[in-house]
Amino acid sequence: MKQVVIATKNRGKAKDFEALFTPLGYEVVTMFDVAPDMEIEETGTTFEENAVLKAETLSKALGTIVIADDSGLAVDALDGAPGVYSARYAGDHDDEANIVKVLENLKGVPEEERTARFMCALAIAGPELETTTVFGSCEGVILEEKRGTNGFGYDPIFFVPELNRAMAELSPEEKGAISHRGNAIRKLADLLPTLLH
Ligand SMILES: O=c1[nH]c(=O)c2ncn([C@@H]3O[C@H](COP(=O)(O)OP(=O)(O)OP(=O)(O)O)[C@@H](O)[C@H]3O)c2[nH]1
Ligand SMILES: [Mg+2]
């Protein structure tokens, strides 16, 4: 089976990638499989910088083509926070604490001002390949309490108006069809024939 290597240690992201790549005939391989002891420090100040950093670091270490995802939630009423710091907003990769902090900071903010978007930068790097980045986003509204148990991160408090459901109430396939990550992956898929020629 063809493999696609993703420079991630986030199992939620890995599941999102599997929902999108398995139907295309690819097996998704993550850092848990190929570089479990490697830590890549995210020193960038933008999604793009961090995605490039992760893709190029793992690609150089393995000598293969690697895709990396840097993503997050931008809430308008919080001036775009948590943004690039989404994974470490309240505690390091503590999804529950991160959700509590967003809800706390939005207390009293009315629904029409709770607009937000998920953003995703995907970078692809490889030997003999010019590193390339694509972007995807997904518009939503921050709920006042959690709904649903699917997905990861902020999915339970992210309401998707076009589907009238929280992101965590969607199946992996439904999420992939509308998500920031799904939108970015489709753009990358369109570019692959030219990139790999
Ligand atoms: O509810 C969510 N649904 C999503 O679809 C989603 N995508 C991103 N996020 C948030 O943004 C951080 C990314 O930070 P991030 O790109 O550095 O990834 P990460 O540190 O979790 O893993 P890695 O890929 O770097 O190993 C994540 O941890 C989450 O908090 C999401 N939340
Ligand atoms: Mg990270």
Q: Which residue's CA lies nearest to atom 28 of ligand 1? A: 87
**To the nearest whole number, what is the mean pLDDT of the chain?**
95
Those residues whose C-beta lies under 8 Å from the C-beta of residue 182, and which sit 6 or more positions away, are 16, 20, 136, 175, 176
Distance between Cα 87 and ligand 2 center (Å)? 6
Q: Is 155 in the pocket of ligand 1 (CB under 6 A)?
A: yes
Q: How sure is the predictor about 197, in pLDDT bands with cuts at 50, 70 and 90?
A: low
> What are phi and psi for residue 98, nearest 5 degrees?
-65, -40
Which residue ranges form the domains of the chain, and what is each CATH number? 2-196 (3.90.950.10)
- Backbone dihedral angles phi then psi of residue 120, each to the nearest 5 degrees: -140, 130
- The catalytic site residues sit at 70
Q: Cβ–Cβ contacts within 10 Å for residue 79, how many?
A: 8
Each residue's pLDDT tens digit, 11-49: 999 999 998 889 888 899 999 999 999 999 999 999 999
| Atom of ligand 1 at shortest range from CA of 175 | 5
Mean pLDDT across 71-91: 97
> What letter represents residue 153's amino acid?
G
Give the residue carrying structure tokens 């921050």: 142
| Pairwise CA distance, residues 192 & 175, whole Å | 22
Residues β-bridged to residue 116: 75, 140
Cβ–ligand 1 distance for 10 under 6 Å, the answer yes
Closest atom of ligand 1 to CA, residue 31: 26
CA of 152 to the centre of ligand 1 (A): 8
Q: Does the annotation flag 33 for ligand binding?
A: no
For the Cβ of 13 lying below 6 angstroms from any atom of ligand 1, the answer is: yes
CB-CB neighbours of 110 under 10 Å: 8
- The pair of three-digit structure tokens given for residue 190, joined into one six-digit string: 């369109």
pLDDT, tens only, 122-166: 999 999 999 999 999 999 999 999 999 999 999 999 999 999 999
- Tell me what pLDDT residue 5 has: 96
Is there a binding annotation on residue 152? yes
Q: Does the annotation flag 10 for ligand binding?
A: yes
Q: Are 13 and 170 in contact (CB under 8 A)?
A: no
